[in-house]
Amino acid sequence: MSRKKKTALLSVALSATMLASAFPAIAAPATLDVEVNGKKIEFASNAPIAQDGTTFVPLESTSKALNLSLQDAKNGTITAVIDGKQVTLQAKPKTIGGVTYVPVRIIGEAAGYEVRWDAASRTIELTSKIVKEGGKGFLWEVKNGGNTIYLVGSMHIADDSFYPLHPSFEEAFAESDYLAVEVDITSANESDVQKLVEKLGSYQDGTTLKDHISAETYKQLGEILVKNNLKADALDKFKPWVVETTIATLKSMEAGYQSTVGIDLHFIQKAMERKIPVIELETYESQLTMFNSFSKDLQEANLKTTLDNFELVDESVDQMADMWKKGDDAALLKFTESMSVNEEYRKAMLDDRNIAMAAKIDGFLKGTEKAEYFVVVGAAHYLGDTGIVKLLQDKGYTVTRK
């Protein structure tokens, strides 16, 4: 894997799920909600706009959520590819604040969705008229003594194109008695998490970021922040690991990927609906402490890589999303192995955590309850010589790819 793909690492492949809600706010809330097949579209700073009874939505992010490939948008028409066919939409675009907007009903219906307005929740609901089968993803099964464990490799951020998931996921979850995740992002008090980030991720000795990284890296960061309508010193109080994840999250949000649509949260919400217990394999504090324990050199190196490849983050996340949807084990293994370039990084992010999580899964398998567990953790934790699959095999279990 090339270095550019690492820019999306913390927020996509591993356990930065909780960081998006804990870091500095960078997106304005939308006045109206738009849902595609029950999943809310996150529009970042460009919210839907209602004018004269018509709701206009940002063209680029909405097209992505509808799996509609844009070709052109000018002269009062929009040319796009839908289901492999080029079509022309008779929807006159509007340009507002440099962003192209189109009527949601016209673009939704052209893409094959039924469009409805829910006045109570102020939500525009787009429902596909064609039932799609979602991506293959990563799913394994382990059995022992009447206990069954389903191991799911997650992408912590996603978009609506991931859904509906492949039936194998929903069928396995329907049979499960417990859901296990890295952290339950719905259970923590947001204020407490913010305080924890402030405590661990900001300087307490009167110094600022500028005092801890090179002048070149600091200048590069400031230029990117200014280009994104933030002050050059907006993140000065935070340590490099916080800044890196904030910057990567900013760019992935622009590309339409959100933790609110991630595989983890999808099943946490379903567990709440079914009223089944959610087990945390880790804690907010343990994950944040891990990031904070990175050496000064590693923190700046990771930040520099993210800054160098800022404009490529969306491309990297697209590639990882494609890997997940295809269930490409070879690509996942290659991605995981790329993390071994830096021993400190690999040991903290993967090796130590894999051992701890595999031990807890081993405990589930040896339990006397004869229960079924649905375990959802970052996909990069499973493969390789120190991955959870190998660790369980070394304990004598048969792990079956589904």
Check residue 83 and give its pLDDT: 65
**50 shares its domain with 195:** no
Q: How many domains does the chain have?
A: 2
DSSP bridge pairs for 142: 149, 399
**104 shares its domain with 183:** no
**348 shares its domain with 229:** yes
| Residue 44 counted as domain residue | yes
Say what percent of the chain tops pLDDT 90: 45
- Pick the range with the lowest mean pLDDT from 46-60, 268-282, 328-342: 46-60
Check residue 309 and give its pLDDT: 85
Provide the pLDDT confidence category of residue 346 given band limits of 50, 70 and 90: very high
Which residues are CB-contacts of 59 (< 8 A; sequence separation ≥ 6)?
Answer: 70, 73, 78, 93, 99, 100, 101, 102, 107
- What confidence tens digit (pLDDT) does each residue in 252-295 have? 776 677 777 889 989 999 999 999 999 999 998 999 999 999 99
| Residue 258 counted as domain residue | yes
- What confidence tens digit (pLDDT) does each residue in 296-306 have? 999 999 999 88
**289 shares its domain with 382:** yes
Rounded CA gap, 224 and 221, in Å? 5
| Residue 193 counted as domain residue | yes
Check residue 56 and give its pLDDT: 86
Q: Which of 97, 121, 145 is the last residue of a domain?
A: 121
- What confidence tens digit (pLDDT) does each residue in 364-401 have? 999 999 999 999 999 999 999 999 999 999 999 999 99
Show the tokens assigned to 110. 């052209």
What is the pTM assigned to this prediction? 0.70
Check residue 239 and give its pLDDT: 95
**172 shares its domain with 142:** yes
Provide the pLDDT confidence category of residue 77 given band limits of 50, 70 and 90: low
**150 shares its domain with 50:** no
| Residue 86 counted as domain residue | yes
**289 shares its domain with 309:** yes
| Residue 126 counted as domain residue | no
Q: Domain limits at 75?
A: 33-121
* DSSP summary character for residue 42: P
Check residue 20 and give its pLDDT: 44
Q: Are residues 311 and 254 in contact, defined by beta-carbon separation less than 8 angstroms?
A: no
**47 shares its domain with 64:** yes
| Residue 183 counted as domain residue | yes
Q: Which residue has the higher pLDDT, 19 or 31?
A: 31
Provide the pLDDT confidence category of residue 31 given band limits of 50, 70 and 90: low
**111 shares its domain with 161:** no
Q: Are residues 57 and 64 in contact, defined by beta-carbon separation less than 8 angstroms?
A: no
Q: What's the whole-number mean pLDDT along residues 324-351? A: 90
Mean pLDDT of the chain: 83
**298 shares its domain with 360:** yes
Q: What's the whole-number mean pLDDT along residues 127-153? A: 85
Check residue 90 and give its pLDDT: 67
**42 shares its domain with 153:** no
